[in-house]
Chains A and B, each alone.
Chain A
Amino acid sequence: MRWLSLAVFMLLVASLLVGAAGIGVHDAAILWQIRFPRAVLAGLVGASLGVSGAAMQGALRNPLADSGLLGIAGTAALGAVVAFYWGISAAFAPALPLGGMLGAGLGCALLLGLAGSAASGPGLILAGVAVSALGAALLALALSLAPNPFALAEITVWLMGGLEDRSLMHLVVAMPPILVGISILLRLGRRLDGLALGEAVAASLGVPVPETLRRVALGVALAVGAATSVAGGIGFVGLIVPHLLRPALGERPGRLLLPSALAGAVLLLAADLLARVLPLLLPLSAEPRLGVLTALLGAPFLIRIARKVAP
């Protein structure tokens, strides 16, 4: 835990020192207007995704549970795109994260409703596939109705996820729901521990099971919804992070929550730093998209987990 906190701090400092303008601090405006919000957002978004993955895996007792894989990030993106696309967010800035949270909330509700009492088994994955497909279809519909090709291109690039050109305004709008969502999830540790033995045992241990699932859904909707609305689609962080921590920290779900938030922040800060450093090292015309980087990192990992889960 101490190491993770230290890593978050060091990466934050590194993020403040590296950017398109080169290494080091040349201009206070660049530092505070560009690098600072970007670095803090990377940390917050990573923490949101990490703790959401850990909480969902714990609550649903499924090592494949993740906001991205189960379609929550997709419905969040849909909500944000709708807000973006109809120009609501241009008129009223908080509409973007609100749209994202609303989309994520609807996705969570749909997921829990579809999975029903089979929330831990294959039924959940099936429901997640359904939610993903629905979100993707509606997103495609929104894209195909885009008013002009530029809007289409803009939304598509945004969906790939990234944190460049995020301002202090983005930070101010997204930070409160992210922090509230994370703190809701962090307080569920004991209940998630109880759920490790199944819903009947958890109930006999005094864990209010339906309320706990609703709280997980609310926390994930706030954290992932706001994170997605500000950073676009960034997958696999929530899935990978708890798995990276389990060998070191054990598998008790409640114990993984805070470390997953920290490790998620580390992972996304590092990925974002990589995205910024690559154009300085390689002849790239633009930064690689953050969501693309995390997906490239995450996909092989997913295969490894799937192999371990189903021997």
Chain B
Amino acid sequence: MIAVVAPIVGLGGRIVLWDINLSARPGELLVLAGPNGAGKTTLLRAMAGLLPGFASQDPRRVAYVPQGARCAWGMSVREVVALGRVPHGDDRAEPVEAAIVACGLASLAGERIDRVSGGEARRAMLARALATEPDALLLDEPTADLDPAAAHAMMALLRRRTAAGVCVVVVLHALELALHHATRLVVMEGGRIVADAEPEAALPRAALAFGLPYGLNPRAGLLPPAQGERYGADRSGDDQGR
């Protein structure tokens, strides 16, 4: 289980989290969704114990993968995944190889991380987290540069992990992924949690938070709004000015 209580958190003179009391249970795949700037990443960092004022987590129990995590050096995929063993201070090969296989990287393990595709590098970062053998996985936009099939595959992989009792918290923008794979959808807006329920129950509030046209069939997948629709209010303001 991983819990975070944050009455109020400010960063750079701005309130970014507000009245937060969230705990993720073992076996849960919790998706954090909400528009840009809603505080999802800050909340995830608070859960990881990386924010000042929050208790730091045991690095052997909690693995965190930030958005756009990349490796500064041209290390091999296997070397990157093996970094997951740093908290344990050992060089055990089995968890590393198991994580490589689980993420479908077996044929790429010897490749340099800066020579594989973006999606493969993303999976290597996940494998690095899995190699830690944590009780909780915290992932920020793990599907950001994956094609739809690869994104679904990654979510399915995370779902399989929850069966082993791991608690997984994922920040996502793609609501259809949350609908298909999550066991719980937490919607954030303006630094607050505005919905926390089963994905389908929380979906209308999520659609509202994203400013999506309401009433789409969630099973069909949510389409992004047409260009300008989301910022329609600003534009009408301009018109009035003229």
Q: A residues within 8 Å of B by Cβ?
A: 61-62, 120, 190, 193-198, 200-201, 203-207, 246, 250-253
Q: Is the CB of B86 within 8 A of A204?
A: no
Give Cα A252 to B85, complex, Å. 14
Give Cα A187 to B83, complex, Å. 17
Given contact pairs A200-B50, A200-B64, A201-B64, A251 touches B86 in the complex (Cβ within 8 A):
no
Q: Is the CB of A206 within 8 A of B59?
A: yes
Closest approach, in angstroms, between the C-beta of B69 and any C-beta of chain A? Answer: 6
Q: Which chain A residue shows the least CB distance to B112?
A: A251
- Residue B148, interface by CB 8 Å: no
Give Cα A198 to B80, complex, Å. 12
Q: Which residues of B contact A206 (CB under 8 A)?
A: 59-60, 86-87
Q: Across chains A and B, which 8 residue pairs bring their CB atoms closest together, nearest first?
A: A206-B59, A61-B72, A251-B73, A204-B64, A206-B87, A205-B86, A251-B74, A194-B86
How would you classify the secondary structure of chain B's contact residues: helix, strand, loop or mixed? loop
Q: Which of A201, A205, A207, A252 touches B73 (beta carbons < 8 Å)?
A: A252
Q: Is the CB of B72 within 8 A of A198?
A: yes
Closest approach, in angstroms, between the C-beta of A209 and any C-beta of chain B? Answer: 10
Q: Which residues of B contact A120 (CB under 8 A)?
A: 72
- Residue B187, interface by CB 8 Å: no
- Residue B128, interface by CB 8 Å: yes
Given contact pairs A193-B86, A204-B48, A205-B86, A198 touches B69 in the complex (Cβ within 8 A):
yes
- Residue B150, interface by CB 8 Å: no
- Residue B190, interface by CB 8 Å: no
Q: Is the CB of A201 within 8 A of B75?
A: no
Q: Is the CB of A198 within 8 A of B66?
A: yes
Give Cα A120 to B72, complex, Å. 9
Give Cα A207 to B62, complex, Å. 14
- Residue B89, interface by CB 8 Å: yes
Interface 1/0s, chain B 111-148, versus A by CB < 8 A?
01000000000000100100010000000000000000
Q: Is the CB of A207 within 8 A of B86?
A: yes
- Residue B71, interface by CB 8 Å: yes
Closest approach, in angstroms, between the C-beta of B41 and any C-beta of chain A? Answer: 10
Q: Is the CB of B48 within 8 A of A196?
A: no
Closest approach, in angstroms, between the C-beta of A274 and any C-beta of chain B? Answer: 31
Q: List 20 extra interface pairs beyond A61-B73, A197-B71, A204-B63, CB under 8 A.
A: A194-B83, A194-B86, A197-B69, A197-B80, A197-B128, A198-B69, A198-B70, A200-B69, A201-B69, A204-B48, A204-B57, A204-B64, A205-B83, A206-B60, A206-B87, A250-B76, A250-B79, A251-B74, A251-B112, A252-B75
What are 14 A-B pairs with beta-carbon distances under 8 A?
A196-B72, A196-B73, A197-B69, A197-B83, A198-B72, A200-B50, A204-B49, A204-B50, A204-B57, A204-B62, A205-B86, A250-B75, A251-B73, A253-B73
Interface 1/0s, chain B 18-59, versus A by CB < 8 A?
000000000000000000000000000100111000000101
Q: Which residues of B contact A190 (CB under 8 A)?
A: 86, 89
Give Cα A204 to B47, complex, Å. 11
Give Cα A253 to B73, complex, Å. 8
Interface centre among A62, A201, A250 (most CB of B within 10 A): A201
Interface centre among A120, A197, A203, A206 (most CB of B within 10 A): A197
Which range contains the number of B residues in contact with the other chain? 20 to 34
Q: Which residues of A contact B86 (CB under 8 A)?
A: 190, 193-194, 205-207
Given contact pairs A120-B72, A200-B50, A205 touches B59 in the complex (Cβ within 8 A):
yes
Given contact pairs A201-B64, A205-B59, A252-B79, A196 touches B71 in the complex (Cβ within 8 A):
yes
Q: Which residues of A contact B73 (CB under 8 A)?
A: 61, 196, 251-253
Q: Which residues of B contact A203 (CB under 8 A)?
A: 50
Give Cα A24 to B88, complex, Å. 53
Closest approach, in angstroms, between the C-beta of B15 and any C-beta of chain A? Answer: 22
Q: Which residues of B contact A193 (CB under 8 A)?
A: 83, 86
Give Cα A158 to B45, complex, Å. 51
Q: Which chain A residue shows the least CB distance to B45?
A: A200
- Residue B65, interface by CB 8 Å: yes
Give Cα A190 to B86, complex, Å. 7
Closest approach, in angstroms, between the C-beta of A22 and any C-beta of chain B? Answer: 46
Closest approach, in angstroms, between the C-beta of A27 and any C-beta of chain B? Answer: 49
Q: Which of A61, A194, A195, A201 touches B66 (beta carbons < 8 Å)?
A: A201
Give Cα A105 to B49, complex, Å. 31
